[in-house]
Amino acid sequence: MPESLYRTIAVDLRQRIESGELPAGSQLENEQELVDRYGASRNTIRQAIRWLTNRRLVESRPGQGTFVVKIDPVVTTLSADWKSDKGLSGGEGKAAFEEAEARNLEMRADPLLTVEPRFAEGIVASLLQIQEGTGVILRQKRRYIKNKPWSLETSYYPMKYIDQGASLLRSKSDIEQGVVAYLKEQLGVKQIGFRDHIVVRAPDDDEARYFQLPDDGTISVIVVFRTGFADDPKGPTPFRLTINVYPADTNQFVINSGEVGEVFANPIAFMTSSAESDDSLIK
Amino acid sequence: MPESLYRTIAVDLRQRIESGELPAGSQLENEQELVDRYGASRNTIRQAIRWLTNRRLVESRPGQGTFVVKIDPVVTTLSADWKSDKGLSGGEGKAAFEEAEARNLEMRADPLLTVEPRFAEGIVASLLQIQEGTGVILRQKRRYIKNKPWSLETSYYPMKYIDQGASLLRSKSDIEQGVVAYLKEQLGVKQIGFRDHIVVRAPDDDEARYFQLPDDGTISVIVVFRTGFADDPKGPTPFRLTINVYPADTNQFVINSGEVGEVFANPIAFMTSSAESDDSLIK
DNA sequence: GCAAATTTGTTCGTATGTATT
DNA sequence: CAATACATACGAACAAATTTG
């Protein structure tokens, strides 16, 4: 099937990885050795490695070598109803911490947030259903798991809440009880629902730097836009927007609806093999 | 910031795209002209184009040229509670059709399904909570929007339901009322909840062929594992697994929880620009 | 329907730069 | 500092896909 030379070499290397000859974490032969082994030019070998890199099977590090990737995905539950309703009342920060704890992951967040006033634009204005140019407060938080960057969370709140007395929104430190609970206590703004909008795209420069993703754009990020809706005489009204960005190669998401047994699901390990065609077929 | 030549060229081309000088759908200069324009070698030009391709900004077609990509993402609602409870009772097929209709998309499915007996293995056995090697029925359906491949849906049902009388599971044609409703009518198996598990990965060969994705693995697919749970004295018990695969560059997903105003959300168009840093900052 | 022209895809060779050990 | 390994860049040739005449 693979007609071109670099494809043939790539498929052969993939087979060697999947057969266990090259286990996760192990180092490939260097490029010169691969040149000798396959009798191809160095450019062709590099093209084959690029094919494997695009599939997250290997990873090259300058000065060191090329290594078989070991993946250990983190699973995050997006649904709010997994336990009483932490997600609806506490905010996703708290929920994420509790889930991480239940999964035995060392999670932490930067104690300092980036807090900036902005004019609402584009998506922000559109999802919050406010005029472009309206004042909003941006609050950005970095989260880490095992000291490695895990998520970048950016929240937007209409500026009017500060004017109305929710002055903690300006503070650069975390709001203890969660912003949703705080806004309810302070202003009586009650969240009655939310919408998650999930998008996969290439990281921008900031994201690539923060997550230490290769700058060639081959590893995507998953972006979750969560719009919170508050009770209002005119019907559910958007009052907050939280955008979470995660590297797509190491993160999975779960949504529970109705009754589903245990609330926390395990990561799905996909057969790197694409062999799934005939193995399980009853003939 | 971009030190290497190909990065500089790529960023310049990106700027020309985002400024509107090269609108969506338009054709770039050919490689030779870019060589002349930037005074770089053809290989370097091609590497710059690859950088843009990885970000889904452009697309090259052999014999024709390189074109600015026009994206028109499809949004799918995953939550079941968006209208009475079609998702819980009717099955996602029906729900998807109704959503497509509401969005004015021409959606159709192959009238013929692939139906095969299998032995449960790996993820399938694990999510259905059955022994590896247990018999299951695989039902696979292809869906199209505007005559272009949109999703690949593969469902697994324990073989025992056929033995118990749900013989339609063997049929290669669609089950009118939806499988969930059929199993309820026929056997009294009632779905009380489901779990969606979302994963992003590179397409396998079959998927790349079906979706006509480039074989270099740069465009990922989004995979949604939906495990349906049935009422049971021992608690919620998995009774079906539906795996939907979608190309990641043209699909977005929405989950509604609680009350959220309109049920259908519009696609999010991300500023291809990564300029979002200072524009909206109040100084 | 065929041949020519155009355009991207693959492959080789070679040289130099940069990061890590 | 030296050795090693990947990254970038140049030049060249032929192959494959598509459009055009």
Tell me: pLDDT of B220 over 80.
yes
* pLDDT, position B48: 96
pLDDT tens track, chain A, 283 positions? 557 899 999 999 999 998 889 998 999 989 999 999 999 999 999 999 999 999 899 999 988 999 999 888 999 988 765 444 455 555 676 777 777 877 878 888 888 789 999 999 889 999 999 999 999 999 999 999 988 899 999 999 999 999 888 888 888 888 777 888 888 888 888 888 899 999 999 998 889 889 988 878 889 999 999 999 998 898 899 999 999 999 999 999 999 888 888 767 788 886 543 333 334 444 4
Residues B128 and B227 sit within 8 Å (Cβ to Cβ):
yes
DSSP state of B27: B
Give how far Cα A280 sits from Cα of A196, B119, B124, B244, Å: 36, 5, 11, 19
Token representation of residue B181: 């409703």
Cβ of residue B225 closer than 8 Å to a chain A Cβ: yes
Cβ of residue B63 near strand D, that is under 7 Å?
Answer: yes
In sequence order, what are the residues at sequence separation of 6 or more whose Cβ sits closer than 8 angstroms to the Cβ of residue A123? A225, B268, B269, B270, B271
Q: Among A19-33, B143-157, B173-187, which stretch is predicted with the lowest mean pLDDT?
A: B173-187
> Are A17 and A60 part of one and the same domain?
yes
Most A CBs within 10 A among B134, B198, B222, hence the mutation to make, goes to: B198
Angle at the Cα of A174 from the Cα atoms of B256 and A102, rounded to 5 degrees: 60
CA–CA dist B263, B265 (Å, integer): 6
Q: How many other C-beta atoms are found inside a 10 Å radius of the C-beta of residue B248?
A: 24
> Are A37 and A130 part of one and the same domain?
no
> Are A46 and A167 part of one and the same domain?
no
Higher pLDDT, B95 or A195: A195
Overall number of domains in chain A: 2
DSSP run (H or E) holding B124: helix B122-128
Count of alpha carbons within 13 Å of A266, Cβ hemisphere only?
A: 7
> Are B115 and B63 part of one and the same domain?
no
> Are A143 and A61 part of one and the same domain?
no
In sequence order, what are the residues at sequence separation of 6 or more whose Cβ sits closer than 8 angstroms to the Cβ of residue A30? A65, A66
Higher pLDDT, A111 or B13: B13
Q: Among A73-82, B112-121, B180-189, which stretch is predicted with the lowest mean pLDDT?
A: A73-82
Q: Do A118 and B197 touch (CB under 8 A)?
A: no
Tell me: pLDDT of B280 over 50.
no
| Residue B240 confidence class, pLDDT cut points 50, 70, 90 | very high
* pLDDT, position A274: 33
Distance (Å) from the alpha carbon of A155 to chain B's nearest alpha carbon: 14
Name the residue facing A252 among B199, B206, B265 (closest C-beta). Answer: B199
CATH number of the domain to which A30 belongs: 1.10.10.10
* pLDDT, position B124: 93
First CA to last CA distance, chain B: 23
> Are A269 and A158 part of one and the same domain?
yes
Q: Do A255 and B56 touch (CB under 8 A)?
A: no
> Are A161 and A253 part of one and the same domain?
yes
* pLDDT, position A283: 40
Please report the DSSP string for A195-224 in residue order: EEEEEEE---HHHHHHHT--TTS-S-EEEE
Q: Do B118 and A282 touch (CB under 8 A)?
A: yes
Q: Domain of A90? A: 74-282
CATH number of the domain to which A188 belongs: 3.40.1410.10
* Class of residue A278 by CB neighbours under 10 A (exposed 0-12, middle 13-18, buried 19+): exposed
At position A109, the amino acid (one-letter code) is: A
> Are A227 and A278 part of one and the same domain?
yes
> Are A182 and A267 part of one and the same domain?
yes
* pLDDT, position A80: 62
Cβ of residue A4 near strand D, that is under 7 Å?
Answer: no
* Nearest partner of A115 among A163, A167, A186, A180, judged by Cα: A167
Mean local confidence (pLDDT), B126-139: 93
> Are A44 and A175 part of one and the same domain?
no
Residues in chain B: 283
Mean local confidence (pLDDT), B237-247: 94
- The pLDDT mean for chain B works out to 85
CA–CA dist B50, B169 (Å, integer): 45
For the whole model, what pTM was predicted? 0.90
* Class of residue B255 by CB neighbours under 10 A (exposed 0-12, middle 13-18, buried 19+): buried
> Are B55 and B114 part of one and the same domain?
no
- Summarised one tens digit per residue, pLDDT across range B50-94 is 999 999 999 999 999 999 998 889 999 887 654 444 555 556 767
Tell me: pLDDT of B1 over 70.
no
